[in-house]
Amino acid sequence: MLLVGVFLGGHAGWMPSWVSSVFTDQSKSERQFNDVLGLIEHNYYRSVDPQSLSNKGLSAAVASLKDPYSHYYPPAQQQEFDQNINPSVTGVGIEVFPVAAGLDVYQVFPGGPAAHARVAPGWVITAVNHRSIKGWSSTRSTNAIKGRSGTPVTLTLSHGSRQRTITVKRAQVADPVVMGNIVRVKGHKLGWIQYAQFTEGSAKALAAEVKKLQGQGAQGLILDLRSNPGGLVTEAINAASLFIPSGTIVTTRGRSQPTHVYTAKGDAIAAKTPVVVLANRGSASAAEIVTAALQQRRHAKVVGTRTYGKGVFQQSQTLPGGGVLDITVGEFFTPDGKNLGGAGVAQGRDLVRGPGIKPDYYVKDDPSSPGPAALHKGESVLVSELK
């Protein structure tokens, strides 16, 4: 049987077209690709790396899709893909907002250099390495603080009339996916939760943070999804289920995948607990799934700007020879049946940005450096719902 198969594969012309296609169609393009690589490797006037040629060929094939969300990562760049999934930064471990005097410290990452130096929220960084950063852009200021792990950086901080100067060593700090604290506004305790990215296990961390803040007396919750680029759809379902007791959260459809309706898993927090969502143009994909679900199913108010408008999702696969293929495989639709990237399967540049989610309260916000304006508006909206 093996010999017959080999013979027929080499004499496809003897077979009916529908039979010969089984032996030839699938491998014809593969043989042509390998033949071209072989000819270049053996006949080109300079020596070439066949692995490099193969990687460039695969990269060009994915690039021909004209899809900004589809990528091929060669083995040498696989670490870059892993870094995108589990981000970390080399700095001092703080979240900041730009203010007139410099950078207002809003969050301090546990275990980071700033935490060990007892930097706390509310302090304002006014100088870096003894140079005033007043009037600097947020990007220039934060880049001055970041640097190679293990190198020192000197920060001058002020808090009212108090001032201190510290020198800390930069370190590789994992950006916490979920962080929260209690904010007191007009006699009310509000729980503010910053959700950075929908990485594996992040919804579980969100559930723990919600439980902790409610245990501390939070009367309402602000879910901050500003500049959250998205991530795993499964984590979005789990996160939305913390606030929505039942019903559809999102529907996915793909050419090679069956339509799937994701519903809430139950065990949500009490419906009487008001929730406000903060979003901006940097909120995309899974962040939009959660934002739309809370807005449409829980009637949570959305504060900020329109979201990114990414109505497609990707699937990644590690290849046998190394490297990762990460391509768009389908679209997702919000509970009301809309696709945030526009109607139908988009082509090329049309994939880049759709209409997004319209906020209930518009507050101008910079995706590259979210400021406190949207947060303060979210706090006032939440307080009004508690009265």
Mean pLDDT of 298-320: 89
CA angle 229, 230, 233 (to 5 degrees): 170
pLDDT at 369: 66
pLDDT at 19: 45
Shared domain for 211 and 259, answered yes or no, is yes
SS3 of the chain: helix, strand, coil, percent, to 5: 35, 30, 40
CA-wise closest residue to 206 among 153, 174, 242:
242
374: domain CATH number is 3.90.226.10
CA angle 44, 319, 315 (to 5 degrees): 120
Contact (Cβ atoms closer than 8 angstroms) between residue 209 and residue 242? no
Shared domain for 140 and 194, answered yes or no, is no
- What is the rounded distance in angstroms from the CA atom of residue 82 to the CA atom of residue 3? 45
The per-residue pLDDT for range 155-189, each reduced to its tens digit, is 999 998 999 999 999 998 776 789 899 999 999 99
Residue 67 within any structural domain of the chain: no
Contact (Cβ atoms closer than 8 angstroms) between residue 305 and residue 359? yes
Shared domain for 96 and 189, answered yes or no, is no
From 59-68, 117-126, 375-384, the region with the lowest mean pLDDT: 59-68
Shared domain for 325 and 371, answered yes or no, is yes
Place of tokens 């879910």: 223
How high does pLDDT run on average in the chain?
84
Residue 21 has pLDDT above 80, yes or no: no
Residue 17 has pLDDT above 90, yes or no: no
Please state the three-class secondary structure of 194-223 as a single string: EECCECCCHHHHHHHHHHHHHHCCCCEEEE
pLDDT at 349: 44
Centre a 10 Å sphere on the Cβ of residue 261 and count the other Cβ atoms it contains: 13
Residue 252 within any structural domain of the chain: yes
Shared domain for 234 and 352, answered yes or no, is yes
The per-residue pLDDT for range 250-261, each reduced to its tens digit, is 999 988 888 999
The per-residue pLDDT for range 262-292, each reduced to its tens digit, is 999 988 999 999 999 999 988 988 999 999 9
Shared domain for 186 and 102, answered yes or no, is no
Shared domain for 167 and 272, answered yes or no, is no
Contact (Cβ atoms closer than 8 angstroms) between residue 168 and residue 113? yes
pLDDT at 346: 47
Which residue type sits at 370? Answer: P
| Residue that wins the pLDDT comparison between 225 and 109 | 225
Q: How far from chain centre, in Å, is Cα 377?
A: 24
Please state the three-class secondary structure of 143-173 as a single string: HHHCCCCCCEEEEEEEECCEEEEEEEECEEE
Structure tokens at 197: 């990215």
Residue 121 has pLDDT above 60, yes or no: yes
Residue 229 within any structural domain of the chain: yes
Shared domain for 142 and 256, answered yes or no, is no
- What is the rounded distance in angstroms from the CA atom of residue 84 to the CA atom of residue 76? 15
DSSP-derived 3-state class of residue 231: strand
Range of the domain at 355: 178-386
Mean pLDDT of 20-32: 61
pLDDT at 355: 80
- What is the rounded distance in angstroms from the CA atom of residue 360 to the CA atom of residue 307? 12
- What is the rounded distance in angstroms from the CA atom of residue 182 to the CA atom of residue 387? 18
The per-residue pLDDT for range 52-90, each reduced to its tens digit, is 888 888 888 888 888 878 888 888 776 556 655 555 567
- What is the rounded distance in angstroms from the CA atom of residue 129 to the CA atom of residue 84? 30
Residue 248 within any structural domain of the chain: yes
CA-wise closest residue to 330 among 293, 296, 284, 285:
285
Q: pTM (2 decimals)?
A: 0.69
174, 196, 220 — which closes off a domain? 174
- What is the rounded distance in angstroms from the CA atom of residue 83 to the CA atom of residue 218? 34
pLDDT at 88: 57
Shared domain for 151 and 203, answered yes or no, is no
151: domain CATH number is 2.30.42.10
Residue 349 within any structural domain of the chain: yes
Residue 84 within any structural domain of the chain: no
174, 197, 222 — which closes off a domain? 174
Shared domain for 203 and 332, answered yes or no, is yes
pLDDT at 206: 97
The per-residue pLDDT for range 29-51, each reduced to its tens digit, is 778 878 888 888 888 888 888 88
| Angle at which helices 202-215 and 233-240 cross, to 10° | 20
Residue 71 within any structural domain of the chain: no
Shared domain for 159 and 185, answered yes or no, is no
* Domains: count for the chain: 2
Shared domain for 164 and 224, answered yes or no, is no
pLDDT interval class at 342 (50, 70, 90): low
- What is the rounded distance in angstroms from the CA atom of residue 308 to the CA atom of residue 355? 7
141, 174, 207 — which closes off a domain? 174
Residue 57 within any structural domain of the chain: no
The secondary structure element, H or E, covering residue 278 is: strand 275-279
